[in-house]
Amino acid sequence: MPAVDAATLARMDGYPFIVVSWVDDAGYPLSVATTFKTDGTAGRLLLDEPGGLPIPTDRDVVATGSHIRPQPGIGYDERRYLSVWGHAAAPSDGTVALIAERTWGWDEAETPFFEYSERSVPQSRRYLAQLSAVRGHPVKPRLALGWLILRTTRLPFLTATLVPVLLGLVIAARHGPFDWVVAALVVIGGSLAHLATNVTNDIFDTLSGADAANVNPTQFSGGSRVVHYDLVTMRQLVAVAVGLYAAAIIIGLAVLAIRPSVELLAIGVAGVLIGLAYTAPPLKLVYRGLGEIAVAAGFGPIMLLGAYVAETGRLAWEPLIASLPVAILIALILYVNEIPDRGGDAAAGKRTLVVRLSQVAVERLYLVAGLVAFALVVVGVATGIMPWPTLVALAALPLVFQVSRGIHQHYDSPYLLMAFMGTNVKLHLYTGVLLLAGYAVALVVAAIR
């Protein structure tokens, strides 16, 4: 039985020629291109004998087919290559049989470049560790400080905080006097608490092995990976989390000093606890399929009501109702981002909602939840709790269907799904901005009257 099966060898047929290499008598690799045929039944390649360069029969030979498609001004794509190692037989009628013994290769159509890179992270760490040992000092990968901060804290996700906080503030402005200093403190404090939660999430995902197990990270999922990539140490990451939490708590206390309120204190404490319990033991909410509920609560009612109470000093129904669509849509960001992570998450015992559900159920739940978010806006307006201009948020509804289709089509293709993950982030952002615009119009209308 051939050492290399016919199907594997047949992959060589896709290459118009191969490069045959061996180590010559002087110890240098010697390579020559030649045409060939595959003989899958016998597990061999039949090479046309190169002129003046006899292929040796007493040593290992490797034949490599490679392909790219040049893209002028850009580079190239459609990268793939396949190497077949073996021993050559004596030539016969101008043909040399290479008996295949093993193969290795890469095809970016099968393993996307980003996944290939992720799978190679251990090699990078090993290489740099060896280099460090030779040098006698650490040689580590680096990023410019600004990029490192952006990556470590996942700064672009701050829209998740800004939407509910600004909504809470604008609703408060409709209900009474407005304190700009408190508003600024709430925005800064809420943002710091969010970044602290992001970093904490990374700490526990790194410790659990979820980040290392995930070979399909995208710009929206898979965490910051700064420790996995050795860009920062775990000690540094913990220091950043503690610093951000401390800053958020100090600002929260400053708001409480300006606007003493038991409700605000309770909301603040609940926010910090949910942020920690999201990935931290013993609760590890996201590992139990409760991540969406935690995120919905944290970036919906807690942020929005917190901002409202900080300004007004009291609870009310309107900010709670207005927070629900935002809460559902932010939970859906997490939900869709979990789709490419599901393999790594499952391997690390992180039983997210997406890990627990079938693909059909995941798709249905997304569509239903997205529609409910917009139905709540209609209900809020119909019951007179929210002002009618907020109906403008319905303009973002088509995005629900776009993302829903994207999930259905690209459930198993993380990098094709990525565009729809981006649309899903826009769904939350645009809906939030439209709600804000609706409230701004309501404020102006009230002022004119």
Q: Does residue 117 belong to the site contacting other proteins (CB under 8 A)?
A: yes
Question: Residues 138-167 vs other proteins: string with x where CB under 8 A?
Answer: -x-xxx---x--xx----------------
Instruction: Return the number of the residue (114 or 411) whose C-beta is nearest other proteins.
Output: 114
Q: Does residue 70 belong to the site contacting other proteins (CB under 8 A)?
A: yes
Stretch that binds other proteins, among 78-86, 174-182, 232-240, 295-303 (CB under 8 A): 78-86
Cβ-proximal residues to 220 (8 Å cutoff; 6+ apart), any chain: 333, 337, 418, 421, 422, 425
Instruction: Map the footprint of other proteins across residues 2-31, applying CB under 8 A.
Output: 17, 19, 21-24, 27-31
Smallest distance from other proteins to CB 332, Å = 24
Cβ-proximal residues to 80 (8 Å cutoff; 6+ apart), any chain: 14, 66, 67, 105, 106, 107, 108, 109
Residue 82 contacts residue 37 (beta carbons within 8 Å): no
Phi then psi dihedrals of residue 386, to 5 deg: -105, 150
DSSP code of residue 364: H
DSSP per residue over 378-433, as a string?
HHHHHTTSS-GGGGGGGGGTHHHHHHHHHHHHSTT-HHHHHHHHHHHHHHHHHHHH
Smallest distance from other proteins to CB 310, Å = 34
Query: In the chain, what's the furthest Cα-to-Cα distance?
Result: 99
Q: Which of 46, 66, 283, 316 binds other proteins (CB under 8 A)?
A: 66
Stretch that binds other proteins, among 76-84, 200-208, 250-258, 419-427 (CB under 8 A): 76-84
Q: Which residue has the tokens 């979990």?
A: 338
Stretch that binds other proteins, among 70-78, 167-175, 188-196, 397-405 (CB under 8 A): 70-78
Phi then psi dihedrals of residue 207, to 5 deg: -65, -35
Residue 319 contacts residue 168 (beta carbons within 8 Å): yes
Instruction: Return the number of the residue (59 or 314) whose C-beta is nearest other proteins.
Output: 59
List 21's β-bridge partners, or say none.
Answer: 31, 62
Q: Which residue has the tokens 């776009």?
A: 402
Q: Give the chain's count of helices (H) and strands (E).
A: 16, 7
Q: Which of 89, 128, 188, 443 binds other proteins (CB under 8 A)?
A: 128
Q: Give the Cα-Cα-Cα angle 108, 210, 105 (nearest 5 degrees).
A: 20
List 104's β-bridge partners, or say none.
Answer: 83
Instruction: Map the footprint of other proteins across residues 216-255, applying CB under 8 A.
Output: 219, 229, 231
Q: Does residue 346 belong to the site contacting other proteins (CB under 8 A)?
A: no
Q: Does residue 442 belong to the site contacting other proteins (CB under 8 A)?
A: no
Instruction: Return the number of the residue (117 or 409) whose C-beta is nearest other proteins.
Output: 117
CA pair distance 317, 312, nearest whole angstrom: 13
CA pair distance 48, 42, nearest whole angstrom: 17
Q: Does residue 401 belong to the site contacting other proteins (CB under 8 A)?
A: no
Residue 81 contacts residue 48 (beta carbons within 8 Å): no
Instruction: Return the number of the residue (34 or 404) whose C-beta is nearest other proteins.
Output: 34
Smallest distance from other proteins to CB 226, Å = 9
Q: Which of 9, 62, 173, 210 binds other proteins (CB under 8 A)?
A: 62
Q: ω into residue 282 within 30 of 0, thus cis?
A: yes
Instruction: Return the number of the residue (5 or 60) whose C-beta is nearest other proteins.
Output: 60
Smallest distance from other proteins to CB 278, Å = 24
Residue 222 contacts residue 215 (beta carbons within 8 Å): no
Smallest distance from other proteins to CB 157, Å = 14
Question: Residues 180-219 vs other proteins: string with x where CB under 8 A?
Answer: ---------------------------------------x
Smallest distance from other proteins to CB 61, Å = 8
Instruction: Return the number of the residue (80 or 342) whose C-beta is nearest other proteins.
Output: 80
Q: Does residue 76 belong to the site contacting other proteins (CB under 8 A)?
A: yes
Stretch that binds other proteins, among 53-61, 237-245, 312-320, 381-389 (CB under 8 A): 53-61
Distances (CA, A) of 394 to 277, 349, 369, 400: 33, 38, 14, 11
Count residues contacting other proteins (CB under 8 A)?
57
Which residues of this chain interact with other proteins, rule CB under 8 A?
A: 17, 19, 21-24, 27-34, 48-53, 59-62, 64, 66, 68-70, 73-76, 79, 81, 83, 85, 114, 117, 120-121, 123-124, 127-128, 130-131, 139, 141-143, 147, 150-151, 219, 229, 231
